[in-house]
């Protein structure tokens, strides 16, 4: 008998199936509690409810066994040749009329449960594959028992560690795995082949782009509630938005990904319960666009935080990551300016000699900061060079504004003193909330960053992640929309002598420009597949987590072309 103390939880038989398929899958589902169902999972569940119940006596209760350390629900039990047989039904195909290994382990576990529950001798289990209508017999003998014991022992051993097991060797399994978008197996394989190639310094075939298993875009919708006095309510499965002076609008609840509440707008507790249960993100912003709070559900992955704390407590590790992030930010800024000031771009109004000189000198300052950054050895040095580059960047950016009302002289933050800064601040706030939401959904601790130091109420790790997206999600759409004259200088802004901010109209326009930008797809320069900017935020958050889960190297390598 395995020595089980009372604190070891019983392993679900389904989890044993996962364990045999891939140890990483077992760990993510059972230990880190990340569960994602794809269409095949749902189809399988439906099969269990619908097709196999006809004319068969099914067990509707769970069987537990302290002795084996497992629990589970047997699909069906029948008398065959005078003894009981456990049946397992599978939606898919058999392995050339044989059972798949993981299915075999699963049915062996059911046999063990059934033998203990009924006290009768059980000699075999059977698996029915519905896709090709094959029934396979699995003997329940001594070797089967040993296999089961070994699997349960392995499961319990995995529960004790905070390290994720490695990827499965068989990459074909990842294609059919519902957790691939979380685990990012192909990206990890890509990173390790890339490392090997650079070590060998072979000029031979450059590594292939990894096959995409990460969804290209978020399919569900985003709701921004901006009208003061409106309220989000729940009507069973629908979300209803009520307004003070016009009819309510209903949305099917399953179609919503995020609700953002701006300023004095309400959401009912019932609606919050629904959002929590269905994985809908809820975020609150002030009327001015500053982040207030976000709904986060359930216990965060404690193993993920352990690894984060351990990694970021190491000063060298933190410094390396901070340097890489600062390099990414400055290089993106520089590339954006180069793109705008290219003679062929035509958009830049750099006719004057003096102006051209100013641009050239600032670009040189940024290049110099880049060179210094790559050698920087302290956090203060990194922040210093990053700040210098930022100053130079905004000095040039200010010259590229072609609309007189939007001219500005450098960045002013609290409060924004001109229209351009008001726009930048609002866009940065929106991007910050998206970065924070991505970190929360990935299960990282946003209060523990590596480049930024804590100051309330912003989360340092979210500010860190934001550095990657400032140019892409804020600077580019803001400057573009200003130069396209999309803004109404009077109606969209409220101007006072000391401060400029956006009117309700202006905020709505900003939201639609920002959200449109987020939906645009681009090709990730390193991973070389296309995805929306919205998904890129989550991808970078997951790659950041990989920095301290054993497969570093992919975070903060995205660059503007």
Partner 1 sequence: MEKHWYLVSYDVRNPKRWRRVYERVRGSAERVQYSVFRMYATRTELEAFRCDLVRLMDDEDDLLIVHLCTGCARRVVDTSRQQNWNEERRQVEIL
Q: What does the binding site for partner 1 look like in residue numbers (CB under 8 A)?
A: 37-43, 45-46, 49-50, 215, 219, 221-227, 230, 235-238, 241, 243, 249-255, 508, 511-512, 515-516, 519
Choose between 313 and 519: whose C-beta lies nearer to partner 1: 519
Please state, in angstroms and as integers, the Cα–Cα distance from residue 337 to each residue in 177, 465, 470, following that order: 42, 21, 14
* Best CA proximity match to 524, nearest among 472, 479, 449: 472
Residue 216 annotated as part of some ligand binding site: no
Residue 386 annotated as part of some ligand binding site: yes
Beta-carbon-side half-sphere exposure of residue 310 (alpha carbons within 13 Å) = 13
In angstroms, the CA 385 to CA 373 distance is 6
In the complex, the smallest distance separating the C-beta of residue 45 from partner 1, rounded to whole angstroms, is 5
Please state, in angstroms and as integers, the Cα–Cα distance from residue 188 to each residue in 93, 179, 191, 195, 537, following that order: 29, 14, 5, 11, 18
Residue 452 annotated as part of some ligand binding site: yes
Cα angle 10, 145, 71; round to 5: 20
* Best CA proximity match to 104, nearest among 81, 121, 79, 129: 129
Distant-in-sequence, close-in-space partners of 3: CB < 8 Å, separation ≥ 6: none
CA pseudo-torsion sign 35, 40, 41, 43: positive
CB 104 within 8 A of CB 125: no
3-state secondary structure of 319: helix
Choose between 95 and 238: whose C-beta lies nearer to partner 1: 238
In the complex, the smallest distance separating the C-beta of residue 243 from partner 1, rounded to whole angstroms, is 8
In the complex, the smallest distance separating the C-beta of residue 511 from partner 1, rounded to whole angstroms, is 5
3-state secondary structure of 231: strand
In the complex, the smallest distance separating the C-beta of residue 36 from partner 1, rounded to whole angstroms, is 9
User: Beta-carbon neighbour count of residue 303 at 10 Å?
Assistant: 19
In angstroms, the CA 140 to CA 109 distance is 9
The two structure tokens encoding residue 48: 């269990």
Choose between 214 and 385: whose C-beta lies nearer to partner 1: 214
Choose between 518 and 546: whose C-beta lies nearer to partner 1: 518
In angstroms, the CA 446 to CA 319 distance is 18
Beta-carbon-side half-sphere exposure of residue 253 (alpha carbons within 13 Å) = 20
CB 291 within 8 A of CB 446: no
Distant-in-sequence, close-in-space partners of 546: CB < 8 Å, separation ≥ 6: 184, 187, 188, 191, 552, 554, 555
Burial class of 181 by CB neighbour count within 10 A (0 to 12, 13 to 18, 19+): middle
Q: What contacts 24+ positions apart, CB below 8 Å, involve 185-193?
A: 185/24, 185/213, 186/210, 186/211, 186/212, 186/213, 187/214, 187/527, 187/543, 187/546, 187/554, 188/546, 188/551, 190/527, 190/554, 191/546, 191/551, 191/552, 191/553, 191/554, 192/551
In the complex, the smallest distance separating the C-beta of residue 518 from partner 1, rounded to whole angstroms, is 8
The beta strand positions in 402-516, using DSSP E, are 493-495, 500-502
In the complex, the smallest distance separating the C-beta of residue 2 from partner 1, rounded to whole angstroms, is 35
**H-helix segments, 98-141:** 101-118
In the complex, the smallest distance separating the C-beta of residue 416 from partner 1, rounded to whole angstroms, is 22
Choose between 45 and 306: whose C-beta lies nearer to partner 1: 45
In the complex, the smallest distance separating the C-beta of residue 123 from partner 1, rounded to whole angstroms, is 33
In the complex, the smallest distance separating the C-beta of residue 223 from partner 1, rounded to whole angstroms, is 5
Choose between 460 and 477: whose C-beta lies nearer to partner 1: 477
Choose between 2 and 519: whose C-beta lies nearer to partner 1: 519
In the complex, the smallest distance separating the C-beta of residue 175 from partner 1, rounded to whole angstroms, is 14
Choose between 250 and 491: whose C-beta lies nearer to partner 1: 250
Choose between 111 and 294: whose C-beta lies nearer to partner 1: 294
* Best CA proximity match to 388, nearest among 414, 406, 362: 362
**Helix 379-399, helix 315-341: angle, nearest 10:** 10
Choose between 328 and 510: whose C-beta lies nearer to partner 1: 510
Choose between 105 and 473: whose C-beta lies nearer to partner 1: 473
In the complex, the smallest distance separating the C-beta of residue 228 from partner 1, rounded to whole angstroms, is 11
Known binding-site residues for Mn(2+) equal 386, 452, 467
Known binding-site residues equal 386, 452, 467
């Amino acid at each position: 008998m395995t020595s089980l103390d009372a604190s070891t939880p019983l392993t679900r038989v389904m989890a044993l199936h996962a364990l045999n398929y891939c140890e990483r899958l077992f760990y993510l589902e059972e230990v880190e509690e990340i569960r994602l169902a794809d269409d095949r999972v749902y189809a399988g569940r439906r099969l269990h409810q619908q097709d196999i119940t006809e004319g068969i006596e099914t067990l509707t209760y769970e069987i537990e066994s302290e002795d084996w350390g497992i629990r589970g629900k047997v699909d069906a039990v029948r008398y065959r040749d005078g003894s009981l047989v456990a049946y397992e039904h599978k939606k898919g195909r058999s392995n050339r009329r044989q059972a798949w290994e993981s299915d075999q382990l699963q049915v062996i576990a059911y046999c063990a449960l059934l033998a203990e529950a009924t006290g009768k001798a059980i000699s075999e289990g059977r698996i029915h594959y519905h896709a090709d209508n094959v029934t396979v017999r699995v003997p329940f003998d001594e070797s089967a028992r040993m296999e089961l014991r070994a699997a349960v022992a392995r499961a319990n051993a995995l529960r004790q560690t905070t390290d994720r097991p490695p990827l499965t060797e068989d990459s074909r399994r990842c294609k059919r795995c519902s957790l691939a978008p979380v685990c990012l197996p192909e990206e990890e394989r890509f990173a390790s082949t890339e490392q090997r190639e650079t070590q060998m310094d072979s000029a031979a075939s450059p590594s292939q782009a990894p096959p995409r298993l990460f969804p290209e875009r978020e399919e569900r919708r985003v709701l921004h509630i901006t009208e003061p006095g409106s309220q989000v309510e729940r009507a069973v499965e629908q979300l209803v938005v009520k307004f003070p002076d016009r009819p309510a609008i209903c949305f099917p609840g399953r179609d919503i990904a995020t609700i953002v509440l701006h300023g004095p707008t309400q959401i009912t507790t019932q609606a919050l319960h629904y959002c929590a249960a269905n994985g809908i993100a809820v975020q609150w912003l002030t009327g001015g666009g500053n982040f207030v709070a976000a709904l986060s559900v359930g216990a965060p992955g404690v193993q993920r935080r352990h690894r984060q704390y351990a990694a970021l407590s190491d000063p060298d590790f933190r410094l390396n990551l901070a340097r890489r992030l600062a390099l990414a930010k400055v290089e993106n800024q520089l590339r954006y300016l180069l793109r705008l000031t290219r003679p062929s771009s035509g958009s830049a109004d750099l006719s004057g000699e003096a102006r051209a000189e100013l641009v050239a000198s600032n670009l040189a300052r940024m290049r110099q900061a880049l060179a210094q950054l790559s050698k920087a050895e302290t956090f203060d040095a990194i922040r210093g060079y990053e700040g210098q580059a930022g100053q130079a960047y905004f000095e040039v950016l200010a010259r590229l504004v072609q609309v007189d009302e939007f001219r500005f002289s450098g960045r002013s933050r609290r409060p924004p003193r001109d229209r351009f800064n008001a726009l930048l601040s609002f866009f940065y706030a929106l991007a910050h909330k998206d970065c924070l939401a991505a970190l929360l959904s990935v299960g990282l601790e946003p209060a523990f960053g590596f480049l930024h130091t804590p100051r309330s109420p912003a989360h340092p790790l979210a500010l860190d992640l934001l550095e990657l997206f400032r140019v892409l999600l804020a600077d580019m759409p803001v400057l573009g929309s200003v130069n396209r004259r999309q803004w109404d200088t009077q109606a969209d802004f409220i101007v006072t002598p000391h401060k400029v901010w956006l009117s309700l109209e202006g905020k709505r326009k900003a939201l639609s420009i920002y959200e449109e930008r987020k939906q645009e797809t681009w090709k990730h320069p390193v991973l070389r597949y296309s995805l929306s900017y919205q998904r890129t935020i989550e991808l970078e958050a997951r790659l950041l987590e990989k920095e301290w889960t054993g497969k570093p190297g992919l975070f903060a390598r995205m660059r503007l072309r």
